[in-house]
Structure 1
């Protein structure tokens, strides 16, 4: 039986296909696809005001007004760092230099962290600008990469967002690269807006990291003090 891995979690390829197929067909309109992936947002490689609403379409909806203004307050610095991130590179072929730029981009929260803006919301705003390169983060993904048995990222107290991102994105790259054929096939199940292999990895990781076992996502990743 072929298995597929996300961090310290794994499942059969057959079950992964079931999860992704359910998510991207979305007959009951329960999931974020196609709303998030097809949301037009701001036209261009930089973040615009329209992109600041996108996290709500992945259920990062807490305090949407405060979040919008929080994003707006750091939009310039985000775009300065985002401009350093290639538009034509995917995570499976990203160099160490590009990985460091991603860490610095997500690590903006170390020095510029508005109220209501977490790594969850930040990643959900940024992913759509580089969907093959910038991974998504939430509490389910954190479980896969930090808390699950055999997870590749140590659970360390008082770690900076930059350091967390360095370790986590490198681990995601490993999972993506070593199983790229499987993730590419899973991404091909999308029936509307196309998704990338990286997005397919996130969908499977979301299911595998759901400790309620319900497949339901009810609230945003809480603000961790021990990132």
Structure 2
């Protein structure tokens, strides 16, 4: 199979035709709205309700609505987490302000600023007073909407793609015992490398998604689907 007939996500590959099908299905707004209206066992995907959620916060501001957006990606917050996010809001907004809205993940990696920017931002989860009820998955789903070009979504399926003990996984499992900020930055660096080394594949996959969808959002759909397969 030709190299460009597949796309790599961390330790795994998937055929481009299958990846394209995942992207087209996930970002089919008409289909998602129809499924939501009819009920039944089939569940709609979160586009566009998560992506266009009118939270009211500016680019570097986190409104209370922004804090609740992860529930649209099945990462509901408890009351403790909301209280703790409100306490962390000034630090999070400072970290967001340090990231230009137009900065992409691959550009930050090329400039050598990826690790510092993301470690500082997600470092709010580290330290002697961790935020009860808040973890990497939820925080990434809050912050991705504010910097969709720079901040990747993270969950257990993305972790399967990027963190493991095989030689193909870019992040070793021992790294998961490290603080959250550096760990997340290491996963993001692996994602940036995959995007930079496969520009043709990712440009094509992004082209079949709606115009308001970022490359990192498209990437997450492919990684989420691939990380959920039986051999992942």
How far off is 1:163 after superposition?
A: 2.1
* Superposition RMSD in Å: 1.9
Please identify the structure whose Cα radius of gyration is greater.
2
Q: Is contact 1:90–1:132 with CA below 8 Å preserved after alignment?
A: yes
The answer as to 2:190 corresponding to 1:139 is no
- What is the CA deviation profile of residues 1-35 of structure 1, one whole-angstrom value per residue up to 9, with x for unaligned ones? 41101111110010000111111115124111111
Question: Which of residues 170, 181, 190 is equivalent to 1:171?
Answer: 190
Q: Is contact 1:5–1:11 with CA below 8 Å preserved after alignment?
A: yes
Once residues 179 and 125 of structure 1 are traced to their aligned partners in structure 2, the CA distance between those partners, rounded to angstroms, is 27
Question: Which of residues 134, 146, 151 is equivalent to 1:117?
Answer: 134
The answer as to 2:25 corresponding to 1:25 is no
Q: Is contact 2:115–2:182 with CA below 8 Å preserved after alignment?
A: no
Once residues 188 and 173 of structure 1 are traced to their aligned partners in structure 2, the CA distance between those partners, rounded to angstroms, is 18
Q: Is contact 1:3–1:13 with CA below 8 Å preserved after alignment?
A: yes
Q: Is contact 2:165–2:172 with CA below 8 Å preserved after alignment?
A: no
Greater length-normalized contact order (CA 8 Å, ≥ 6 residues apart): 1
Once residues 229 and 24 of structure 2 are traced to their aligned partners in structure 1, the CA distance between those partners, rounded to angstroms, is 21
TM-score, normalised with respect to structure 1:
0.86
Q: Which segments of 5 or more consecutive residues in structure 2 lack a partner in the other structure?
A: 37-43
**Aligned counterpart, 1:67:** 81
Moved more, 69-78 or 7-16: 69-78
Moved more, 204-213 or 54-63: 204-213
Matched residue count: 211
SS in 1 for 2:162: helix
Question: Which of residues 40, 44, 51 is equivalent to 1:37?
Answer: 51
Once residues 50 and 223 of structure 2 are traced to their aligned partners in structure 1, the CA distance between those partners, rounded to angstroms, is 17
Question: Which of residues 3, 7, 12 is equivalent to 2:6?
Answer: 3
**Aligned counterpart, 1:13:** 16
Q: Is contact 1:9–1:148 with CA below 8 Å preserved after alignment?
A: no
Once residues 46 and 69 of structure 2 are traced to their aligned partners in structure 1, the CA distance between those partners, rounded to angstroms, is 10
**Aligned counterpart, 2:226:** 208
Q: Is contact 1:127–1:135 with CA below 8 Å preserved after alignment?
A: yes
- What is the CA deviation profile of residues 88-137 of structure 1, one whole-angstrom value per residue up to 9, with x for unaligned ones? 11112112124311121112100253211110000000001110111110
Question: Which of residues 154, 171, 179 is equivalent to 2:172?
Answer: 154
**Aligned counterpart, 2:214:** 196
SS in 2 for 1:152: coil
TM-score, normalised with respect to structure 2:
0.84
**Aligned counterpart, 1:106:** 122
How far off is 1:212 after superposition?
A: 5.8
**Aligned counterpart, 1:57:** 72
